[in-house]
Amino acid sequence: MKNVSPLACVTLIVLAFILGWYLKPQTPDPNSTAVYGDTGLPKNCRAVIAANTEGWQMGNYTAAGALDSIERNCGRYGYSW
C-alpha cells in the first residue's frame, strides 16, 4: 500500500466539499418576493411585513399591533412560513 501525503488528503477533502456545495440542488426562497392571495391579503412573510409597516406608517396600526402580527405570522411558529 502506497502512502498518501496529508496535503493530498486535505486537497481532496476541500475539492469534494466545494463540488458538493456547488452541485447541490438550489431551493427557491419562498420569501424572495411578496405574495398576495386572491383577496389581496399577504400569503408570505415578506408580504406580511410590508403590509404591517405600511399600515403602521399610515396610522392604521399601532407599533405593538404591527409587531404582534409579524410575530404571529412570521415568528418561530408563524403561519406564513
pLDDT of residue 60: 96
pLDDT of residue 19: 75
Residue 81 · residue 48 · CB < 8 Å: no
pLDDT single digits (tens) 2-44: 677 778 778 888 877 777 777 776 778 788 899 999 999 999 9
Q: Which residue has the higher pLDDT, 69 or 19?
A: 69
pLDDT of residue 28: 80
Q: Is the pLDDT of residue 1 over 70?
A: no
In this prediction the pTM is 0.63
DSSP 24-78: SPPPPPTTSS--B-TTS-B-SHHHHHHHHHHHHHTTSS-HHHHHHHHHHHHSTT-
Map out the domains of the chain as residue ranges: 6-74
